Every structure is written in structure tokens, then in C-alpha cells.
Amino acid sequence: MTYEEQASYEKHIKQCSQQMSRQDLTESISCCISKQILRDPVVAADGFTYEREQILHWFQHSNRSPMTNEELDTLEVKPNFAIRAILSALIKSNKKSK
């Protein structure tokens, strides 16, 4: 990607994020299972982000993705540092605006 393409992409994303509704944002940072805002976001083998406690509970009863119903190769989960950073930034932003 060229510098100009990257700059255009970033500009577009910034504009979209400003137009994003609160509902869209809330859905983006919510667990696919519980629909509650994430605290300890993890990624499962299906590529979806879940609340750690929720997906580990799911795995006690199933080795299938809650989103696709496909059998998963592994039940290992990994921290989603990107979502965690977004959550942290939202918290900091809210503290600044008070």
C-alpha cells in the first residue's frame, strides 16, 4: 500500500468512526454469546471475539463455534489485545470528558 493509499484509508476510517452510532459501537465491543460489553476479550479458533468466561463455559458443553456451528480445531483462546486497547481508550476518553 502506498503512502497516499494509507492516508486515504485512514481518513476514510476516521470519518466512518465519527459517524458510527452508539449502538454500532456497543455491538462491536460486545460478546457474541452474552451480548454484554467485553471485559476480558479473547479470540477463539473461529476468529470471533468473546468474553473469556462465556466462551470457556460454552466449551464445557460444545466443541463447535457459537457463531458458525462449525467444529473447531482447537478450544484454545487468545487475548484480543486490539479490542482491549479500544476498550481502554473508550474508558480514558470518558474520564477526560467528565
Domain that holds residue 82: 22-97
Does 94 score more than 80 pLDDT?
no
**53 in a structural domain:** yes
**2 in a structural domain:** no
pTM for this structure?
0.80
Q: Helix, strand, or coil here: 49?
A: strand
* pLDDT at residue 71, rounded to an integer: 98
Nine-digit cell string for 62: 460444545
Selected residue with higher pLDDT from 22 and 65: 65
CA distances from 44 to 6, 25, 36, 68, 72 (A): 29, 21, 17, 12, 9
**46 in a structural domain:** yes
Does 17 score more than 90 pLDDT?
no
**13 in a structural domain:** no
pLDDT digit string, tens, across residues 47-90: 999 999 999 999 999 999 999 999 999 999 999 999 999 999 88
**15 in a structural domain:** no
Task: Name the CA dihedral angle for 59, 62, 64, 69, rounded to a multiple of 10 degrees.
Answer: -120
Percentage above 70 pLDDT, the chain: 96
CATH of the domain at 49: 3.30.40.10
